[in-house]
Amino acid sequence: MKLSVLCLFACLPWTFDALAGTAESSRSHFVADEGTSVQAALADGNGAYVSAIFGNGKAYGKNVGSDTTVHWRAMDVRFGRDLSPSFFYPASLLSDREKLRADMVYYNEGHPNNNHRDGFAAQLVYANRFRRNLAVEFGIGPYLNMNTTTIDGREIDESHWGGLISAALRVGLDQYSPGLHLRIGINHAVVHDAHSSTALMAGIGKYFDAAPAYPDEGSGPHPFWLGVATGSSKTNQTMTDMTYGISLEGKRYWGQWAASVSALAEGDDGSRVNRYGIAAQGWYVQSLTDKWSVSAGVGPYLARNERASDDNFRVDGLLTFQAERLLSHSVKVYASFSRVQTFREKNDRDLFRIGVMKQFGG
């Protein structure tokens, strides 16, 4: 299922041209204008970015056995936006070739011996276009990670905060699509009181010049959207079956921010989890074009697991990456990848959903 996330975001550069048909490339990726308000700042730093890369690497440190390779399962999926020099930092700090960007990252560290760790990071990224078709990037930020591992004979979902350090070379492929490029990157994950890892990866990225400051919210101001989605659910522990679930979501947008309330039925894996409940999430929404947007959401999830020995309702966490495309001003489709975080070292879950939303009111 995690490979589905890679396919979803990696296909954006091509599906954008085929479906949206609104690519704009007349402006440089690294030109900034002046502005003082928040809205002007968003319009000023208007380069949006997505990429998906995968590769191989090594894990080392605590609780890593003799097989330290990540078995070609390292994966980095990210989206971000350029920061405006007129709002976030002094314009004189960087040249026209340089940019600062804020990225949201889903990172899977692969499968070394006895460790299946992945998580979500936020990075501040420095980019320097030192030649017309070549640029380098360096990023750093906090990394919330979850690891399925066996310690002292007990399999657990171990959670930690750490740091994610990234470097990348971007090689332009503008002859195929404006802003398209080959991305070659290296990630180093540092986690307190747990193992570290380093991976070299390659894949595709795309810059979207002159991205809208805000996503299209429909035909009225702050309309209400109602959606239904279905897809697979996988418990992050062995001896469990993949199953299927459904969700019903209500969502409202305020510029680049949104809030949602969802009813989730995750499905029964046959042994550990048959969970359902209500989740509330706050969202950061990044528009790419007038049709496409990507977003990241986080919030509490009040849920009951009927297969738990104590089947009372408990508060879990829900983290989501999502891609959306408007079909009209009142209908859109979306695909999402979510992590249910139980905070109890067991029964965490990955959810992959595809759905449709309809606007009401406005």
What is the token pair recorded at 183? 């991305």
236-268 pLDDT, tens digit each: 999 999 999 999 999 999 889 999 999 999 999
Please report the pLDDT score of residue 12 as a whole number: 41
pLDDT of residue 91: 84
What are the beta bridge partners of residue 180? 206
pLDDT in tens, 169-219: 999 999 999 999 999 999 999 998 899 999 999 999 999 988 988 877 665
pTM, two decimal places: 0.87
Mean pLDDT of the chain: 87
Mean of the pLDDT values across residues 1-27?
38
Average pLDDT over residues 308-329: 94
pLDDT confidence of residue 8: 42
pLDDT top residue among 223 and 157? 157
Rounded CA-CA distance 12/335 in Å is 12
Q: How many CB atoms lie within 10 A of CB 246?
A: 17
Structure-token pair, residue 311 = 């089947």
Asked whether residue 6 carries a pLDDT value surpassing 50, the answer given is no
Question: Per CATH, which fold does 2-208 belong to?
Answer: Porin (2.40.160)
- The answer to whether residue 104 scores a pLDDT higher than 80 is yes
The kind and range of the H/E element at 317 are: strand 314-326
pLDDT band at 164 (very low <50, low <70, confident <90, very high): very high
Res. 223 pLDDT band, cuts 50 70 90:
confident
Q: What is the pLDDT of residue 255?
A: 87
Q: Which residues contact 184 (CB under 8 A, 6 or more apart)?
A: 53, 168, 169, 171, 200, 201, 202
> How far does the chain reach from its first CA to its final CA, in angstroms?
36
List Cα–Cα distances, 220 to 139, 216, 251, 256, 287, in angstroms: 38, 10, 14, 16, 18
Query: Residue 147 contacts by C-beta under 8 Å, 6 or more apart in sequence?
Result: 115, 116, 117, 157, 158, 159, 160, 194
Q: What is the tens place of the pLDDT at every residue in 107-125?
A: 999 999 899 999 999 999 9
**What is the distance between the alpha carbons of residues 247 and 219, in angstroms, rounded to a whole number?**
25
Polymer length in residues for the chain: 362
- pLDDT-derived band at 14 (thresholds 50, 70, 90) equals very low
CA pair distance 48, 66, nearest whole angstrom? 41
What distance in Å separates the CA atoms of residue 329 and residue 158, rounded to the nearest whole number? 43
**334 class by beta-carbon count within 10 Å (0-12 exposed, 13-18 middle, 19+ buried):** buried
Q: Which of 14-18, 27-31, 252-256, 323-327 has the highest mean pLDDT?
A: 323-327
- Residues contacting residue 279 through CB under 8 Å, at least 6 positions apart: 260, 261, 262, 264, 299, 300, 301, 302, 303, 318
pLDDT, average across residues 18-32:
33
d(CA 43, CA 181): 23
CATH 2.40.160.20 domain range(s) in the chain: 2-208, 224-360
43 has a pLDDT exceeding 60: no
* CATH hierarchy code of domain 224-360: 2.40.160.20
Give the Cα separation of 344 and 150 in Å (integer).
15
pLDDT given for residue 11 in this prediction: 46
Backbone φ and ψ of 9, nearest 5°: -80, -30
- Is the pLDDT assigned to residue 26 strictly greater than 80? no
> What mean pLDDT is predicted for residues 55-69?
90
